[in-house]
Chains A and B, each alone.
Chain A
Amino acid sequence: MIPATARTHPAFAYLRARRRRPASWSDRYTSVFVLLVAAAVLGHPVAEALAGLARQADPARLGPGLALVAAAYAGFLALARALGPVVLPAADASWLVTSPLPRRAVLGRTALLLLVAAVLAGAALGLTALWLFGAPGQLGVRLAAALVLGAAAGAGGMATAVLGQQSPAADTRLQLLIGGALSVAVLAAVLGAGPARRMLAAVAEAPASLGAAVAGVASVVAAFLVRRAWAALDRIPAHRILASSTRTARVTSAATTLDPGMLTWVAEDAHWRGRALRSRPWPRLVSRLGPASAPAWQEWLRVGRRPGRLAALLGAAALPAVCANATGGGLGPAAGLLLCGALTAAAMCTAGVRRDGGDPALARMLAVDGRAVMAARAVLPALLAAAWSALALGVLQAVGELPPGAWWALGPAAAPALAAGALRMARRRPVDHSMPVIDTPGGAVPTGPLLWAFTGVDLALAGSLPALAALASRPASVAPYLAAQAVIGAAVLTAYVLRSARGSRP
């Protein structure tokens, strides 16, 4: 609670005065009407979905499903940490945080919004978990327990993130929590189909009262953490709120002006700003290979400087197999994940291309032949994409989702095309909002953002068609597909590098 002395502070009158006007009767009527319509529209499908929860869990899907829920929770915490989580609009951050106003009064509204968002996100995760584990009896109790447990996890996690913004020690605890959630995801994915299967099945069959007790304990812990976070609002250093508010304002601006490419720049700059680096000279071998290899070496340096990303990439190689297990052996979503993962691996090391595409000032100063630099810069993305996709295909085969054969080799064969796709993505221009909007029966489709989103993905997709066809049909012999993939992959990258020399973008 806000102390009485703070509540009477003139700041409150000021803050109340500058907020939105109080809700009128018409506003209230609209809100109630919208809620009633939503209830009428969604009531039946929600009731059906809830009734569908009253079933036994499928033991084969418990491990992969729990892995996805734990990974989503880790993502939720990581996102909260990356955004702040306590942020203000840029003007408020500049003027109110550095003023003598009581900080908790300034931040209280944001804190309340964060709590609501965390409770909703947690409840959604709780429902997903219940859908996985099923509710063989006492549906009402199990549903309430899942919602409370999820909401408590969400609120507790968000409170930990707020505490982490206040002190480095608490931030370390938050990172441990994220690491713990990721570990659970990995363990569930790896052991869920084997040794831990029985344990997970036992959890699914546990009495509803036990779930309710766990939810009760979790909500007490969450309440304690929320209370501590509320108290900590007064002590969050101004510079942390200013930094996270500026970062989030840029992200919001990039999102609202539909320029998602800016997000990558914002994230990169936020990561490297203020860091002391151990400078390394360019290796002599790189210099001997010619001037074009020198600009490419910076990507190797950068990748080496972010081992956490490499570790996350390594862990993500299991996701296609987890997804295939969770969907009961369907390779469609797994193939999609394979393509996304390999393209992400390749795109992880294209920052130099992206910077030169956005502002060629440094490229002009370097004055190196564009074709040679592009060829040198394609090496690392191709290697990373090859290694990641080979590993992911190997895991898919190890869990029995692929027949015998050298399936792993499809990864290295498709890697050049994936590298070309990642380089094309890095060089794409901002979204062109002057492109026409096409009216379709499903609604208006803005072609500018659509073209932007597909630039790069198109090349990766077209260049990986033989591999995707092989995954879709699962032939007895993968060799013909492998040969076709190797030829097409190399051809796509060669054509892209040759075309890049003409200075055309992307």
Chain B
Amino acid sequence: MANAIITARGVGLDLGGVPVLRDVDLTAAPGEIVAVMGENGVGKSTLLRCLAGLHPSPRGEIDVLGGPPADLPDFWRRVVQAGDEPAWYPGLSVREHLELMSAVHQDARLTVDEALETFELTARADLAPLSLSTGQRQRLSLAMALLRPSSLLLLDEPERGLDAGFRQRLAGILRGYAAEGGTVVMATHDELLARETGARVITLRAAS
């Protein structure tokens, strides 16, 4: 693919001597949504971490936004990864976490109020994230990821903790992001979410 955002060929990785990924190929173009699916333990999250440059030396060839991925600020200015729940900053409210993101990224995609409304957090804006339910914290994590500008979203099980209604809404939000030219690669178990986002599905098989 000539203008691919991600080109990964023959990616392989062993962890503790156990093969986790073997000969995985993945490409993603601007404006495309790719859903990586498969059973537990087939390496979906590991593949995302490889694409984010968070595994030191996977086998194969990985090219993200024109170069190998690297855990450096320049890379993260164009790439957003939302996976496990982050360690929230203590003493900051939901709104202030979004304010912080907005203050750092002057060309934010959404205003703080828009993000609160889109992710149905307006009523919880003045609470600390630890006071929220699991699903609400997941929405906050996604709101922070989608408030800031980026070219590539790497989402690890974005449906985690979300109710069925909000999953539909999330599909619309991700379609909107892709329509603006952004690329989404998400590891998911939710076939409905994959279908509603219009994602191209890649199914991983166990490496061993």
**Residues of chain A at the chain B interface (Cβ within 8 Å):** 265, 268-269, 271-282, 286-287, 291, 294-295, 297-298, 301-302, 305-306, 351-352, 355, 358-359, 361-362, 364-370
The complex places the Cα of A215 from the Cα of B105 at a distance, in Å, of 65
Selected from B77, B92, B128, the residue in CB contact (under 8 A) with A367 is: B77
A146 to chain B minimum Cβ distance, whole angstroms, is: 42
* A365 and B90 form a contact (CB under 8 A): no
The listed residue with most B CB atoms (<10 A of its CB), out of A276, A355, A367, is: A367
Q: Closest residue to B83 on the A side, CB-wise?
A: A361
A59 to chain B minimum Cβ distance, whole angstroms, is: 45
The complex places the Cα of A439 from the Cα of B86 at a distance, in Å, of 41
- For the A-B complex with A269-B130, A297-B103 known, give 12 more contacts whose Cβ atoms are closer than 8 Å: A273-B131, A275-B128, A276-B127, A279-B93, A280-B96, A287-B103, A294-B103, A295-B100, A306-B91, A361-B86, A364-B76, A368-B104
Kindly state whether residue B148 has any CB partner on chain A within 8 Å: yes
User: What B residues does A268 contact at CB under 8 A?
Assistant: 90-91
The complex places the Cα of A366 from the Cα of B73 at a distance, in Å, of 8
* A277 and B126 form a contact (CB under 8 A): yes
Q: Closest residue to B90 on the A side, CB-wise?
A: A268
Would you give the 0/1 interface string for B123-137, flagging 1 where the beta carbon is closer than 8 Å to chain A? Answer: 001111011000000
The complex places the Cα of A365 from the Cα of B77 at a distance, in Å, of 8
Kindly state whether residue B81 has any CB partner on chain A within 8 Å: yes
Q: Closest residue to B102 on the A side, CB-wise?
A: A282
Q: Mind listing 12 A-B residue pairs with CB under 8 Å?
A: A265-B87, A272-B90, A277-B92, A277-B127, A279-B93, A280-B99, A297-B100, A301-B92, A355-B88, A355-B90, A365-B81, A365-B145
* B104 and A294 form a contact (CB under 8 A): yes
Q: Closest residue to B147 on the A side, CB-wise?
A: A365
- How many of chain B's residues have a CB under 8 angstroms from any CB in A? 38
Kindly state whether residue B175 has any CB partner on chain A within 8 Å: no
Kindly state whether residue B180 has any CB partner on chain A within 8 Å: no
A283 to chain B minimum Cβ distance, whole angstroms, is: 9
User: What B residues does A276 contact at CB under 8 A?
Assistant: 126-127
Selected from A295, A351, A359, the residue in CB contact (under 8 A) with B104 is: A295
Kindly state whether residue B84 has any CB partner on chain A within 8 Å: yes
Would you give the 0/1 interface string for B92-126, flagging 1 where the beta carbon is closer than 8 Å to chain A? Answer: 11111001111111100000100000000000011
User: What A residues does B126 contact at CB under 8 A?
Assistant: 276-279
Q: Closest residue to B95 on the A side, CB-wise?
A: A279
* A358 and B87 form a contact (CB under 8 A): yes
**Residues of chain B at the chain A interface (Cβ within 8 Å):** 71, 73, 76-77, 80-84, 86-96, 99-106, 112, 125-128, 130-131, 144-145, 148
Query: Are A366 and B71 CB-contacts (below 8 A) given A276-B126, A305-B91?
Result: no
The listed residue with most B CB atoms (<10 A of its CB), out of A268, A294, A295, A355, is: A294
User: What A residues does B73 contact at CB under 8 A?
Assistant: 367-370
Q: Closest residue to A304 on the B side, CB-wise?
A: B91
Q: Closest residue to A274 on the B side, CB-wise?
A: B131
Count CB-based A-B contacts (< 8 Å).
116
The complex places the Cα of A291 from the Cα of B76 at a distance, in Å, of 14
* A277 and B96 form a contact (CB under 8 A): yes
* A282 and B103 form a contact (CB under 8 A): yes
User: What B residues does A370 contact at CB under 8 A?
Assistant: 73
* B91 and A359 form a contact (CB under 8 A): no
The complex places the Cα of A287 from the Cα of B89 at a distance, in Å, of 19
* B101 and A365 form a contact (CB under 8 A): yes
Q: Closest residue to B98 on the A side, CB-wise?
A: A279
Query: Are A271 and B90 CB-contacts (below 8 A) given A364-B71, A365-B80?
Result: yes
* A273 and B128 form a contact (CB under 8 A): yes
* B87 and A362 form a contact (CB under 8 A): yes
The complex places the Cα of A475 from the Cα of B131 at a distance, in Å, of 55
User: What B residues does A301 contact at CB under 8 A?
Assistant: 91-92, 96
User: What B residues does A368 contact at CB under 8 A?
Assistant: 73, 104
The complex places the Cα of A200 from the Cα of B22 at a distance, in Å, of 79
Query: Are A291 and B131 CB-contacts (below 8 A) given A272-B90, A281-B99?
Result: no
Q: Which 10 A-B pairs have the closest CB atoms?
A: A361-B86, A367-B76, A294-B103, A359-B87, A279-B95, A282-B103, A302-B91, A268-B90, A277-B93, A279-B93
A441 to chain B minimum Cβ distance, whole angstroms, is: 41
User: What B residues does A302 contact at CB under 8 A?
Assistant: 90-92
Query: Are A279 and B90 CB-contacts (below 8 A) given A273-B131, A295-B104, A365-B144?
Result: no
The complex places the Cα of A277 from the Cα of B91 at a distance, in Å, of 8
* A366 and B101 form a contact (CB under 8 A): yes
* B99 and A365 form a contact (CB under 8 A): no
The listed residue with most B CB atoms (<10 A of its CB), out of A279, A291, A305, A365, is: A365
User: What B residues does A367 contact at CB under 8 A?
Assistant: 73, 76-77, 104
* B93 and A282 form a contact (CB under 8 A): no
Query: Are A287 and B106 CB-contacts (below 8 A) given A277-B96, A279-B125, A280-B96?
Result: yes
Q: Closest residue to B105 on the A side, CB-wise?
A: A291
* B93 and A298 form a contact (CB under 8 A): no
The listed residue with most A CB atoms (<10 A of its CB), out of B99, B102, B144, B145, is: B99
User: What B residues does A306 contact at CB under 8 A?
Assistant: 91
B172 to chain A minimum Cβ distance, whole angstroms, is: 22
* B87 and A361 form a contact (CB under 8 A): yes
* A275 and B131 form a contact (CB under 8 A): yes
Q: Closest residue to A275 on the B side, CB-wise?
A: B128
Q: Closest residue to B97 on the A side, CB-wise?
A: A362
* A364 and B95 form a contact (CB under 8 A): no
The complex places the Cα of A22 from the Cα of B126 at a distance, in Å, of 53
